Amino acid sequence: MFIDRPQKELVGSVVFFPSHLVGGLKLKSEAMGERLAKRADGGASAPPSYLHPEVHATLVHAVPVEGEAVAVVAGGEGGGASSGGGRGGEGGRGVGINEEAVLAFLSEHRWPPGLRATFMTNVRKSTMRFFILDDSGSMITNDGKKTVTSGSVTKQISCTRFEELKGSVSFHIELARRGNIPTEFRFLNNCPVVKVGGADATPNGVNMLMDTLSGNPSGGTPLCRHINECTRQIRANEGQLRQNKTHAVLIICTDGESSDGDLANAMRPLEGLPVWVVVNLKTDEDRIVSYWNSIDEQLELEIDVLDDYASEAQECYAKNPWLTYSSAIHALREGGIRIKEFDLLDEGKLSLESCRFVCSMLLGGRVDDFPHPEVDFEAFRSYVSNRLETVPTVYSPVHKSLRPVIDINALSQCYGKRMCVIM
């Protein structure tokens, strides 16, 4: 399936091609009206693809993905090619995202193919990214959890809250570094502000962050100051964000209450700005959970309060046992990529329409290629089962073992009879 929509819309985007077409293709840049690719083995030429004249740098990279290949169209009007096809200047920050490196990194972490594409599509819409990281003294409390793999064995083990934070944020630091994704990391106490990725990346910034994560947490919880500083940056770039139809993402990783003021008042200036807020709690203390839920209720903000990975997986399984809530889904959410269907996983059984969408997002391909389960559930079930054969298994903290991303038997049991569902 070759490009069938205007080329100008494809600049910097991720396009899926069937592996039988791409696997043997030699991809190269061609002028408008020439063929995009030819089979490397000298066989028949691939169908022609005509390039929009404003797509100046039409370099195409083929990155293998289980069962298919990803073609990343680079460059664009006035931009030329970057190392992976990004464009700069969106939202006041240079983007230049290295899409090939992002996809390779996510593949190393066993992300399903569709979820990789979902991340790539959405990360371009969040052109300002902030992580506020709690390194206060209470983070030394030993009631955290982290997932550890040794050889072929994966387990969740007990650790400090700060070790739990290290396990999750290290992923996002390396993703920003490898993918050149402009991201600002702010520890509350023991490290200067560090920018990773983009033209204004902090020299030696990644080492500074990792050194802080290897140290001991100490100090108070001055969340208000850091939120105020992030808010000022977002407001200064509001015009460009709206013009480019992009938004900022503010991720707050903490285990407590602010020690430097009223947090709801500090966050209220974010109301009305193009920003999505994620609160990643590093504790399950009822008092702290209630504190943050109360703040959520007081504000007119797009906000998602996340529990730890294991707790979110349990809540998902209770309502939607056909889906394995993997570390990839959790990392996607804690990194500020908002998918409405994932927000609904712990609220009730998804509708068949939402189930179909989630399956396409995890397994890859267009949602319209999946038979509609309300029209022919068996055809849908068979199609999902066939696609699962090319997707790696993932760790389930519920079952404490590797599982398919979708449990076919549970899928049939959940949707074999009509039930009340979350639309």
Q: Residue 382 — pLDDT band, cuts 50, 70, 90?
A: very high
Domain end point (choices 282, 306, 330):
306
Mean pLDDT of 385-403: 92
In terms of pLDDT, which residue wins out, 73 or 322? 322
Match 């068996």 to its residue by tokens. 378
- On whether residue 314 sits in a domain, the answer given is no
Residue 125: phi and psi, rounded to 5, are: -85, -15
Domain end residue (candidates: 124, 154, 169): 124
Same domain, yes or no: 64 and 81: yes
Please tell me whether residues 143 and 89 are part of one structural domain: no
Residues 149 and 94 in one domain: no
Higher-confidence residue of 256 and 129: namely 129
- Read off the pLDDT band of 47 (50, 70, 90): very low
**What's the predicted TM-score (pTM) here?**
0.76
In a domain, 302, yes or no: yes
d(CA 208, CA 165): 16
Give the pLDDT mean for 350-368.
93
pLDDT at 86: 37
Joined tokens for residue 94: 């240079």
Higher pLDDT, 271 or 16: 271
Residue 180 is predicted with a pLDDT of: 96
Q: What is the pLDDT of residue 31?
A: 33
- Residue 1 within a domain: no
What SS3 class is residue 180? coil
> Helices (H) and strands (E) in the chain — how many of each?
15, 15
- Same domain assignment for residues 116 and 146: no
User: Could you tell me if 141 and 110 lie in one domain?
Assistant: no
Domain assignment present for residue 206? The answer is yes
Token digits for 15?
A: 């396009």
Query: 156 pairs with which residues across the strands?
Result: 147
Question: Is position 234 within any domain?
Answer: yes
Residue with tokens 């996340």: 306
Residue 408 binned pLDDT confidence (cut-offs 50, 70, 90): very high
Based on the fold, state whether residues 133 and 115 are members of the same structural domain. Answer: no
Q: What average pLDDT score do residues 355-368 get?
A: 93
- Please write the tens of the pLDDT for every residue from 216-267: 999 999 999 999 999 999 999 999 999 999 999 999 999 988 999 999 999 9
The answer on 217 and 113 residing in a single domain is: no
Residue 213 has pLDDT above 90, yes or no: yes
Identify any residues that bridge with 395 across adjacent strands, giving them in sequence order: 402
For the cut 60, the answer to whether the pLDDT of residue 35 exceeds it is no
Q: Decide if 57 contacts 80 (C-beta within 8 A).
A: yes
Q: Share the mean pLDDT of the chain.
A: 80
Q: Is residue 258 part of a domain?
A: yes
Residues 38 and 96 in one domain: yes
Distance, in Å, from the CA atom of 27 to the CA atom of 22, rounded to the nearest integer, reads 8
**For residue 151, what is the domain's CATH number?**
3.40.50.410
Q: Residue 417's pLDDT is what?
A: 53
Domain tally for the chain? Answer: 3
pLDDT (tens digit per residue) in 173-207: 999 999 999 999 999 999 999 999 999 999 999 99
263 and 158 share one domain: yes
95 and 195 both lie in a single domain: no
> Of 68, 91, 124, which residue sits at a domain end?
124
What is the mean predicted confidence (pLDDT) over 7-19?
42
Its domain, for residue 72, covers 7-124
**Is residue 278 assigned to a domain?**
yes
Does a structural domain hold residue 369?
A: yes
Q: What is the pLDDT of residue 36?
A: 33
300 & 393 share domain: no
Rounded to whole angstroms, how far apart are CA atoms 273 and 322?
Answer: 37
The answer to whether residues 261 and 389 belong to one domain is no
C-alpha to C-alpha distance for 287 and 145, rounded to whole angstroms: 19
pLDDT band at 171 (very low <50, low <70, confident <90, very high): very high
How far is it, in rounded angstroms, from Cα 400 to Cα 148? 12
